[in-house]
Amino acid sequence: MVARVRNLFSKKVGLGMGAIIVLVAGIALFISRSGDATQPMRFSHKAHLKDAKCKACHADYEKQAAAGMPRLEHCVDCHDGTQSKGAEDVKEEEKLAHYAEKQEEIRWVRLYRIPDHSLFSHRLHVVRGRLECKTCHGPIEASETAPRRPVQAISMDWCMSCHKERHVTNDCNTCHR
């Protein structure tokens, strides 16, 4: 009798655990599908672009394929104390000093990334092609908080339709090697 009860009990617990596992897996899948990026700290492009050019923080686009994500050294170039006035902003800014103390990079989550089988160069598009950042990244200069997803979805069709419009080659092996 005791054994049967225990058996029943463990079956119920088993079912309960099963349901929880399914639920947790479901939530994890939902989060990964929705693809929303949560950044390690607050950041406003709008507040910064009054004084700074894009290359103050994305240092590589004139010379390289990558535009470059901001490194801590770019932030502490300007942030030597408190640049902000509001209490909330000052609190957020203090995080920079903590990162600097620990000599730790801020791990920004990247939103724009094409697969390794495809080639893209910022230098080619921005310097040689003279395209503006916002043609491909939308009005990021107006964002007051970090965007949680790409403003412009990147797909092969999107690359190719601009190339077609501007009479740039669409040979498969210019973008795939």
Residues 44-63 that bind ligand HEC (CB under 6 A): 44-45, 47-49, 51-52, 54, 56-58, 61
End-to-end CA distance of the chain: 69
Residues 95-134 that bind ligand HEC (CB under 6 A): 108, 110-115, 118-120, 122, 124-126, 128-129, 131, 133
For ligand HEC, the binding residue among 7, 162, 164, 177 (CB under 6 A) is 162
For ligand HEC, the binding residue among 9, 31, 156, 164 (CB under 6 A) is 156
What is the closest distance, in whole angstroms, from the C-beta atom of residue 108 to ligand HEC in the complex? 4
3-state secondary structure of 67: coil
Site membership for ligand HEC, residue 8 (CB under 6 A): no
Residues 13-32 that bind ligand HEC (CB under 6 A): none
What does the block give as tokens for 21? 């596992």
For ligand HEC, the binding residue among 24, 26, 29, 77 (CB under 6 A) is 77
3-state secondary structure of 176: strand
The position carrying tokens 């770019």 is 74
Helix H or strand E encompassing 102 = helix 87-102
3-state secondary structure of 63: coil
Q: Tell me the sheet residues that pair with 176.
A: 118
What is the closest distance, in whole angstroms, from the C-beta atom of residue 145 to ligand HEC in the complex? 7
